[in-house]
Amino acid sequence: MLIFGFHIKTSSHLHHCHSSTMVRIPEVKLSSGGKPMPRIGVGTAVFPFASSEAMRATILRSIELGYRHFDTAAIYQSEEPLGAAIADALRAGAIRSRDELFITSKLWCSDAHPHLVLPALQKTLRNLQLEYLDLYLVHWPVSTRPGKYELPPAKEDLLPIDMSAVWRAMEECHALGLTRSIGVSNFSSKKLETLLSIAKIPPAVNQGNKVEVNPLWQQQKLREFCVAKGIQVCAYSPLGAKGTHWGQNWVMDCGVLEDIAAAKGKTLAQICLRWVYEQGDCVLVKSFNEERMVENLDILDWELSEEEKHEIGQIPQRKGFPGLDFVSDDAPYKSTAELSSSSSSMARMPEVRLSSGGKPMPRIGMGTAVFPFASSEAMRAAILRSIELGYRHFDTAALYQSEEPLGAAIADALRAGAIRSRDELFITSKLWCSDAHPHLVLPALQKTLRNLQLEYLDLYLVHWPVSTRPGKYVLPPAKEDLLPIDMSAVWRAMEECHALGLTRSIGVSNFSSKKLETLLSIAKIPPAVNQVEVNPLWQQQKLREFCVAKGIQVCAYSPLGAKGTHWGQNWVMDCGVLKDIAAAKGKTLAQVRTAR
């Protein structure tokens, strides 16, 4: 845990803490076999930068209080004051030897070029007045134009990184004894996987903003990956990084954490730090007064209960740091999703052109129909994560109660830089049966757009060739509410929505060949899409052939059989033929079905 940027003042309580019974900070062994790393440390990243004298005094006081792990970086402008504070501590007898300390620094992006790695580390050692580091990290999986130490870097200075060559230079620094361990910062699982495939010395640590870990961004999968690979996680922003240009106050305003803190007689910050500590991570945290330096040590002799950990585990996830500083239309990474992926050019999802001439539709999309309905926060988080992973096609409906969380997730993705524009997405919604009346079609679409916070849809579908009594959004509908549908008048209203620019394409869902034939005979604008159930156990060959012949794109739902719904079965996932094919190809049954 790295704590940085504290105001210094004296109190009898603080002097009492610096006594012969000073708390011993637990350590963790690194895979490289270097010195064990204390799990609580002092960071030195302060934005805007602190004065050298204030930083020097803060670090000296933290050494007197018992901290032994210090984190700096070339970009922080804190290497020289940290070096001066270490010299002060040696002169004052606060430590007997530099070897009592664990010192980390980082290679900035402008030095992330093979020929500049060794000179950059040598400069860092001169700044620190040290002969070696305990840990040297690649600060970001990004290179920038040499000679500039700027955060954020200018977009025109962003360059592709030759990670293989840079890592070989890091390994050479290790071989020369200039650093006891080497590692990375702000690396995703995919970036780590790529690095592990080329490294002779695997990274001992993954630290930084991409490894932001707090109760509102728990990073379970990344932490599990690091544990499995023997990489120690050093977590950034456990309190949300309020005060930085990227930080938020979501963590400190979290009601669940406030309640746990009140019940345990602890501060909310201590609850967060203890939670991260219990995950096995080292932690990086920001604080601005000396009392909190002591407070941050008071997390070692108590535990969170299983119930409290469960409550924290249920907190909806919200990522604080978007990574926008390192993406640009003209840079190697065009989006934060690409920044997290294993290469700078994320695979493009195949698309299909629709007969209406609207935006091409990605052939793989994410459905949002969950029965029983999912919580809004869980749905919102799942959609945001899917956007970060590269999904661009999302399907919702008035009935699903997912329009509002989808709209919120799109807004989140825009703020986070996961997409640059709403136009990158293909959004489908559907007219429910209770609105399948000519005078209700336009108001229903307008309500959908308000829910989604959008100006237009890419595709609007008639959900079923059925009308029900207005005002009821129920599945299944009551039998007494079923009404005949005036398909001709409803479709004219759909065409009017298209003419108004409120939807780029119109189509239908759950229509048979005969229903489509009738609709085609009256339509001025033919349906662009028919969304229907399709899977290996319900292949719909004749319907699909009809649609192909008429220029109607089929969009398949329930490809795995819709287990968990009131209509679904597990026949698809229990199919022996599919299991055999999956085993032979080394794929999951779901992958075999989707490819089909």
* Angle in degrees, CA 534, 539, 543, rounded to 5: 85
| pLDDT value for 336 | 57
Determine the structural domain holding residue 8 and report its residue range. Answer: 3-313
Q: Are residues 297 and 378 in the same domain?
A: no
Q: Are residues 300 and 387 in the same domain?
A: no
567 inside domain: no
Task: Considering only residues 441 and 420, tell me which one the structure prediction assigns the higher pLDDT.
Answer: 441
Q: Are residues 355 and 275 in the same domain?
A: no
Task: Please tell me the number of Cα atoms within 13 Å of 577 on its side-chain side.
Answer: 6
Collapsed DSSP state (helix, strand, coil) of residue 447: helix
CATH number at residue 460: 3.20.20.100
User: Percentage of the chain with pLDDT > 90?
Assistant: 48
Catalytic residue selected from 76, 136, 391, 460: 76
- Enter the tokens of residue 581: 């094919």
Give the H or E element holding residue 282.
strand 282-283
Measured CA to CA, the distance from residue 338 to residue 160 in angstroms comes to: 12
564 inside domain: no
Do residues 260 and 308 lie in contact, with contact meaning Cβ atoms separated by under 8 Å? yes
- Where among 313, 332, 361 does a domain terminate? 313
188 inside domain: yes
Q: Are residues 394 and 521 in the same domain?
A: yes
CA 421 to chain centre: 18
Q: Are residues 286 and 396 in the same domain?
A: no
Measured CA to CA, the distance from residue 456 to residue 454 in angstroms comes to: 6
- Where among 313, 329, 360 does a domain terminate? 313
- Enter the tokens of residue 465: 């060739």
Do residues 155 and 326 lie in contact, with contact meaning Cβ atoms separated by under 8 Å? no
| pLDDT value for 88 | 98
> Across the chain, what does the average pLDDT equal?
83
117 inside domain: yes
Q: Among this protein's residues, is 67 annotated catalytic?
A: no
- Where among 313, 341, 358 does a domain terminate? 313
Q: Are residues 277 and 170 in the same domain?
A: yes
Q: Are residues 309 and 373 in the same domain?
A: no
331 inside domain: no
Give the H or E element holding residue 62.
helix 52-65
419 inside domain: yes
Reported as a pLDDT band with limits 50, 70 and 90, residue 559 is low
Pairing state between β 205-212 and 232-236: parallel
| Prediction pTM value | 0.56
User: Percentage of the chain with pLDDT > 70?
Assistant: 77
Q: Are residues 300 and 355 in the same domain?
A: no
| pLDDT value for 110 | 95
Q: Are residues 551 and 417 in the same domain?
A: yes
Q: Are residues 355 and 301 in the same domain?
A: no
Residue 577 main-chain phi, psi, to 5 deg: -60, -45
35 inside domain: yes
Highest mean pLDDT among 242-256, 361-375, 482-496: 482-496
**Which whole number is the average pLDDT over 63-72?**
92
262 inside domain: yes
Q: Are residues 414 and 278 in the same domain?
A: no
* DSSP per-residue string spanning 416-441: HTS-S-GGG-EEEEEE-GGG-SGGGH
- Number of domains within the chain: 2
Q: Are residues 408 and 477 in the same domain?
A: yes
Pairing state between β 361-362 and 351-352: antiparallel
Do residues 27 and 39 lie in contact, with contact meaning Cβ atoms separated by under 8 Å? yes
